[in-house]
Amino acid sequence: MSTYYLRVENKNHTRKVLIDMAYLAKHKIIRLPKYYYEEGLYLPYTDKKDDDSSVKKYELTKDKIFKEDKDFLYFKFPFKHDQVVKTTV
């Protein structure tokens, strides 16, 4: 499984936030430390495996938090792993 990054776009650049891949692989849930959360975080994905031109954004908004504990926010991962757009480092 590849490493996935969330993205957040600011005025003149895009910043990447690493996803906890071990938790995602085991539970199929995005576990995000609370101190990483900010408005505008998204995961780029595509509906078609071979078509990277139709990239969409799965935004991690507060209404998509389905579980929360002392240190983490949990978001559902609603698509297959091969639909996530790979990020070059």
pLDDT at position 3: 87
pLDDT at position 81: 85
pLDDT at position 68: 96
pLDDT at position 88: 63
Residue at 51 is within a domain: yes
What domain range is 13 assigned to?
5-83
Give the C-alpha separation, 36 to 47, whole Å: 27
Residue at 89 is within a domain: no
Per-residue tens of pLDDT for the chain, all 89 residues? 678 999 999 888 888 999 999 999 899 999 999 999 999 999 999 887 666 568 899 999 999 999 999 999 999 998 888 888 877 65
Residues 6+ apart with CB under 8 A from 22: none
Give the C-alpha separation, 18 to 26, whole Å: 16
Residue at 65 is within a domain: yes
Give the number of domains in the chain: 1
* Tokens encoding 62: 């507060």
β 65-68/55-59 pair status: unpaired
